[in-house]
Structure 1
Amino acid sequence: MCAMNKEERHVFILDELAVCRKVLVTDLAKQLIVTPETIRRDLAELEMSEDLTRIHGGAVSFIPTHREMVFEKKMSLNLEEKKRIARRAAALIQHGDTIAVDIGSTTVHLADMIEDVQSLTVVTNSLSAANRFNLAMEEQRITGQIIMLPGVTNPYQASIKGTYTIEFLKRFHFNRAFISCGGVTEQSVYDFDMEESLVSETMIACCQEAILLTDSAKLNKKSLFEVAPMSKISTVICDQDKPIDWHEFGYHWITANEF
């Protein structure tokens, strides 16, 4: 393939995206015979023009920041990174803990990674997480109880939300709350749905330690609703190091490499 100019590369990238739904920086660099840095700049420009949305290592079709993907579709993005984050987070769960788990395509993997934890109480508004923790009990990887929060179902996110959810949740005190997000900046944690964000905010308010699980594609991104300031977060678990231009707010940053 002959070297292309920037406009030709952009057309090629969008054509590939239309066919494959996802493109990777490494693959594009080889196909177009340019450096990965050149491809990253191309993707950044295309994202600014709302032609695509960057993810860790590549890009997918454009996702408006005010609109959340259907849960099953979110589950397929950055899957290996999310599993690494969840595995590292699961290692923090101790015997006798009472934990809160909100909805999210990373927090849902916690139950898959947990091993040999006794007398665990899990409180969640995620139907998918509840099912997986039930399976962990059936497989005798944990003992304890799973408490499903009451409220109104959101079938697109397999979640529970609403006034009843918040009021019931306020009665609990958690050792740890495992929180997902739609985006996170140096100052704040964000998510897409206002009511589901209020559930996460309440979990944070009712816990000793708030643990944020986020893949690097969400760093420096804002979505519709602010869940909490970063000063309320105790620990961040991410698949890459904290951005070098972020100041410290007192939380502990854990980089989830192979674990």
Structure 2
Amino acid sequence: MPAILDMKWGAAVDPHRAQETLAIANSVGQVQFWQLAAASSPAVPQLAHQFTFSLDDPTTLCLSLDWANRLPRYHAADANIAISLSTGAVTILQCTATGAIATTEFAAHDFEAWITAYADPTTLVTGGDDMLLKLWDIRTELSSPIVTSRKHEAGVCSAQAHPTKDHILATGSYDEHVLIWDRRTMRRPVHDVHVGGGAWRIKWHPCEEGRMVVAGMHAGFFLVDVDAAGGATITHSYTKQESLAYGVDWCLPGGSHVASCSFYDHALHFWSAAIE
């Protein structure tokens, strides 16, 4: 399999089958779609490949992706996927049970578009190597963003909408800062936490509304608590992986453990997120 840059589960693309689909963005201009298949043992789940979408140019990297219906409150939305590309463009795919087609492509950034994320099914967030954070209304012609922020001081490489609070958004950058935003007032962030390494990935806890985990590249992995009154603080760090902290997510159900992966040594670690 080619190098994987991002992957996310989305709600069912077939309304007649309540089965989630895993979308994988890779380094040869593809998004692959997989589903859990029936296995001989429930303890050994298997993934079955469904179909693949390919860009015209296989030298273009698919850097990140997000489903419009990924969050539970948006499961009824269309199964669209936004992909950010190494060219600075963003492509939106319309997905069905049998395939995906590109419906929209627009120039989002002058350099690599490191991240894209849905804030809601009609609002897309993008971040690029041009140090810009942008919000787009995908119901428009996409000739210009509805918001452009220059608060980050290096490339913007991560973004994720809060799973339960409609207007809250977190972004991360090579400037080693995670910024928490209220989309209703984007002139300045609500909170700013310095994690000590490039904030390559951010994942809000799906159940504990003020908690997130951050993959901080050279600095390791961090748990961050966000309190509306007290700000954002690092509560725990995990530095036992010896290579670049690159991928991270919460283990469900329960969400008391974290899965993290590192770049050069291909290592996957599982660790407790409980604060002692």
Q: TM (normalized to structure 1)?
A: 0.30
Greater RCO, 1 or 2 (C-alpha within 8 Å, sep 6+)? 1
Q: TM (normalized to structure 2)?
A: 0.29
